Amino acid sequence: MKLLVINGPNINFLGIREKTIYGSKDYNYLCNYIKQEAEKLQVDVDIVQSNIEGEIINFIQGSYGKYDGIIINPGAYTHYSIAIYDALLSVDIDIIEVHISNIHKREEFRRKSVTAPACKGQLCGFGFYGYIMAMMALIEAVNS
């Protein structure tokens, strides 16, 4: 199984920004954690990150025919990017949306995801472990 993890804006600043919300572990830690757990689950994983909406769309479109599933943390684009929503719908791949924090316990504007309806499901509030849960969910989806 081959998965693509797409991280959106500001995820690369983990460990620097809003430590009370996202913790003190940095982006490299997150990537290494995902790769280590993917190896245990016998999953090939590629991880990409961009602060640019169009690049995220290119990652999604580029996944077509190459990956069995996508895990996406669209960051702030979650709340308003119809373009990312459309790209997610276009690839016909199982997709899980992940958020490190519980977006439903935060500011009102963060509680609405325009991208989640294009996904198989959404995980939020489980910290970095949400990415691992998403991998397990995609393994289950592909094997069912």
pLDDT, tens digit, for every residue of 116-132?
Answer: 999 999 999 999 999 99
pLDDT band at residue 103 under the 50/70/90 scheme: confident
Q: Tell me if 74 sits within 8 A of 98, measured CB to CB.
A: no
Question: Catalytic residue at 29?
Answer: no
Domains and CATH numbers, the chain: 2-143 (3.40.50.9100)
Q: pTM of the prediction?
A: 0.93
Q: Give 77-87 pLDDT, tens digit per residue.
A: 999 899 999 99
Q: Is 22 a catalytic residue?
A: yes
Q: Which helix (H) or strand (E) holds 123?
A: strand 121-124
The mean pLDDT of 4-27, rounded to a whole number, is 89
Helix 53-62 and helix 82-90: axis angle, to 10°?
Answer: 10
pLDDT tens, position by position, 34-72: 999 999 999 999 999 999 999 999 999 999 999 999 999
From 85, 99, 104, 129, active-site residue: 99
Please name which of 7, 92, 3 lies closest in space to residue 41, comparing C-alpha atoms: 3
Whether the pLDDT of residue 104 is over 90: the answer is: no
